[in-house]
Amino acid sequence: MACMQAWSELIKSKVKKLQVENLNNKRSTTCNLQLLNLQPYFPIFQITKPQNTLSRLLTFLKGNWHRVALSVLIGSITIGSSIALMGTSAWLISTAAIATSVADLGVSVVGTRLFGITRGIFRYLERLVSHDVTFRLLSRLRVWFYEKLEPLAPARLMEFRAGDLLARIIGDVETLENFYVRVVSPPLTAAIVGIFTSIFLASFYPILAPVFLIFFLSLGIVLPAIAQITSRKSAEQTITLRGDLHTRLVDGIQGMADLLAYGHADERLKQIAANGLDYGNAQRRMARVTGIHAGLSTLLTNLGMWTVLFLCIPQVTNGNLAGPMLASLTLLTFASFEAVTPLPLAAQMWNSSREAAKRLFEVVDTEPAVSDKGQGTRDKEEQLVTHHSLLVNNLSFTYPNQTTPALEHVTFNLKPETSLAIVGPSGAGKSTLANLLLRFWDYSSGEITLSGESLKEQNQDQVRERIGLVSQNTYFFNTSIYENLRFARRKVTKEEVEAACKAAQIHDFILSLPKGYDTMIGEQGLRLSGGERQRLAIARVLIKDAPILILDEPTANLDPLTEQQVLETLFNVMKRKTSLLITHRLVGLENMDEIIVMNHGQIVERGTHAELKNSDGLYRRLLDLQNRILEEKT
């Protein structure tokens, strides 16, 4: 109960504070390895990669080593009780066959009962403590992995497929559940049991100790080494193929409608089936290796027992050993091999755990596209920002792995409580500018100044707290409408939520739903139409009430009448804020203080709506084209 209470307290009060620091700190790594001193004795712990996967995994046990020691101690007592039970009961049966007095059996009867009870009790305690450590490790791993993922979004995470990330977050972390229970603890327990058993055997007949150790070490070192070598490739394939299978399944589910519409559902099914077959074959190879090593373990265990029996018979015949000790020493030797029986499986589990850990470290070791320099941290929040201006000076940017610049020498000055529209055809660089302003990517040429301070010198969270964004593809969680809107500002009242929805022209629609604001909208809000999702996005940004607004195609997917109503609302809001409107629809732009026209990443025109309308430039051509399209529709 105490362990479970401690676990509960950990979840409630410390889960947000769990952070793994100094993963590559050589001093702590050396201390951990010296403390365990496992590498010379157990090949499964040899580090062959420069990434030091084992040492990094052991770092997650920081603060829990006392629980690890307690678990190993209890595990050793458990197996020790099994050995003592086997030896005592064998002595009891043998003595009972030749004893002339019941009094000769009194101590052994009590011992048999004692060791039988203690084995069960300590087995339960060992499971309780070891799984408590395992769950703490998994909790720390999950929190650490999510914390490491957050700075990578969205720039670096675009390099990974959604299904692959899902496989790493769920499957690979769950694979590491076996790391402590099956990889770390068993070798330590086996070492303790082996030492005490050999000392006990030597006290009766010295030659029994080296003979016992030969079989014990064969089961504890040689067989695990063979198991690791023979299962390494299959273990790596199992982890990789599982990730591939998850990736194909997620892609297939997300694109199910298009697969059906274009008649490729059967082709996708065959790909998934082939992938599943490969994954199953890899698991079968792992199971085959497990079966072979299980058979070898049984063989070596029985050979060890028979060898001890063979050596003890002459000693009993010569009178050097009491007769009842023949069965006792033989059977306790047999029972002691329980400590090393799990080690071949531990070697196989280490292969899987190592591969899973490498996949996790591959993600978290990725350098974030944007990093805080430290001087713009939250310590500066005490400096009250009184103005919210935005200055972009000679800004240029090229996406990684591309040669064509997305932005070239862009310059503008957006003063407080003024509005600026950026228009142009698709691919002109409009959304790229929004991504840079939100610090999703970092620029290397030019400068962006927010509220009088360089954007690079400011903390990312501080920047995003001052900016409200409506993008073309706003994400909605699989929960109620109210929770999705409350997401923008946690302390918002229901009245404020309803006021924002009224302003976004969606309040009446929400009330028409069976459960109103408590209606579940499905994953990514797919139970709503595109226009309804867009109006919810506008309501969300109104609830956030940030001083700077970035509206990236805010009226996409809206019909002309609703678009006009929403724009009127937005323009009223924009009058009180520093606003940047990014759009390719030239509607209502007469309300903007300035318009910038972009093409191929460059500014080609700038001015007011009236000025640009009367000039013979790109803006005039885009406006004329839009008007012709509208006339054709009417």
Residue 182 has a pLDDT of: 76
Question: Within 10 A of 564 (CB to CB), how many other CB atoms are there?
Answer: 13
Which tokens sit at 603?
A: 């500014």
Four-CA torsion 413, 414, 418, 423, nearest 10 degrees: 100
Checking if the pLDDT of 558 tops 50, the result is: yes
- For 130-164, give one letter per residue: b (16+ CB within 10 A) or e: bbbbbbbbbbbbbbbbeebbebbeebbbeebbebb
pLDDT tens for each residue of 585-634: 888 888 899 999 998 889 999 999 999 988 888 998 888 888 887 777 66
Q: What integer is the mean pLDDT of 37-48? A: 36
Residue 184 predicted with pLDDT over 70: yes
CA angle 58, 229, 75 (to 5 degrees): 45
Average pLDDT over residues 148-155: 78
Q: Which is more confident, 421 or 172?
A: 421
**Mean pLDDT for the stretch of residues 52-69:** 84
Q: Which domains does the chain have, with CATH numbers?
A: 52-364 (1.20.1560.10), 385-633 (3.40.50.300)
Condensed to tens digits (0 to 9), the pLDDT of residues 380-403 reads 444 445 567 889 999 999 888 788
For residue 441, count CB atoms less than 10 angstroms from its CB and return exposed for 0-12, middle for 13-18, buried for 19 or more: middle
pLDDT above 60: residue 259: yes
In this prediction, residues 280-302 reach a mean pLDDT of 88
pLDDT of 491 strictly over 50? yes
Dig out the tokens for 476 from the structure.
């909605």
For the chain, how are helix, strand and coil distributed in percent, rounded to 5?
65, 10, 25
The span from the CA of 470 to the CA of 462, in Å, is 18
| Residue 210 in this model has a pLDDT that exceeds 90 | yes
Q: What is the pLDDT of residue 453?
A: 87
Q: Output the average pLDDT for the chain.
A: 81
pTM score: 0.66
Higher-pLDDT residue of 41, 318: 318
d(CA 456, CA 443): 9
Rounded to an integer, the average pLDDT of 208-218 is: 92
- Averaged pLDDT for residues 522-546: 85
Question: Residue 542 is encoded by which pair of tokens?
Answer: 């109104």
575 pLDDT tier (thresholds 50, 70, 90): confident
Q: In the structure, what pLDDT confidence band is assigned to residue 375 with cuts at 50, 70 and 90?
A: very low
Q: Which contacts of 103-111 are long-range, i.e. CB under 8 A and separated by 24 or more positions? A: 111/84
Per-residue confidence (pLDDT) for residue 135, from 0 to 100? 86
For residues 517-540, average pLDDT: 85
Q: Average pLDDT of 292-318?
A: 90
Mean pLDDT of 290-307: 90
pLDDT band at 518 (very low <50, low <70, confident <90, very high): very high
**Mean pLDDT in residue range 207-220:** 92
- pLDDT at position 5 over 50: no
The token duo for 293 is 């090593």
Count CA atoms closer than 13 A to 609's CA, side-chain side.
Answer: 13
DSSP 3-state of 189? helix
pLDDT at 387 (0 to 100) = 66
pLDDT in tens, 73-121: 999 999 999 999 998 898 888 888 776 666 667 777 888 889 999 999 9
Check pLDDT > 80 for residue 565. no
Q: Tell me: pLDDT of 335 over 80.
A: yes
